[in-house]
Homo-oligomer: A and B are copies of this chain.
Amino acid sequence: MSTVGNSTNIFWQECPVGRAERQKLLNQKGCVLWITGLSGSGKSTLACTVGRELHSKGKLSYILDGDNLRHGLNRDLGFKAEDRTENIRRVGEVAKLFADAGLICIASLISPYRKDRDACRAMLPDANFIEVFMNMPLQLCEERDAKGLYKLARAGKIKGFTGIDDPYEPPLNCEIEIQQKDGVCPSPSDMAGEVVTYLGEKGFLQYS
């Protein structure tokens, strides 16, 4: 019903297939996993590993990757403050649509500002927005630096780089926090296991 609620077309058609019916078909509940953290903190790794774990359980997920979307939906946006905010807003709106479609939508973006993440959270019923904070030390992320972005940022060749000359605001009340234990990073499989266990416990992996 929500998909035609504001239609200006002439026939008011009660749309008999809604979120509940899609969730029942998929035997899962739609939600948004929002993975936030510094560049190099392992967001994409976690996103892919969670996607694989879910698929092995017969569950349908879809990854919205911040960088990839900048080649499509968000290709008109740059990196100034208002563009970053609009970038996150659109990803939030699209993630909401995927959750409404019944999917477990995995959004993977640095999303450094708390207000932008909270605006996305506010688009959904609170329980359906699961914020996953990749709480890895800047030093570790910078050491990894596979793409050399930190090096460029330190050299002043990239301006406004999160963690270097632009702030990362950690979540205050995230649902899941991934961090080192005794100075050791959890394996991708362990990180993903924590997330998938959470989804199971909260009832997202079945319909009823």
Which A residues are within 8 Å of any B CB, using their own CB? Answer: 2-17, 21-22, 25-26, 39-45, 47-49, 51-52, 55, 58, 60-65, 67-68, 70-73, 76, 86, 90, 93-94, 96-98, 100-103, 108, 123, 141, 144-147, 149, 188
Contact = CB atoms under 8 A, between A and B. Distances in A.
A9 B102 contact: no
A58 B25 contact: yes
B6 A55 contact: no
Contacts of A98: 97-98, 101
A39 B8 contact: yes
A201 to B, nearest CB: 22
Contact of A55 (B25, B72, B94, B146): B25
Contact of A42 (B6, B11, B39, B103): B11
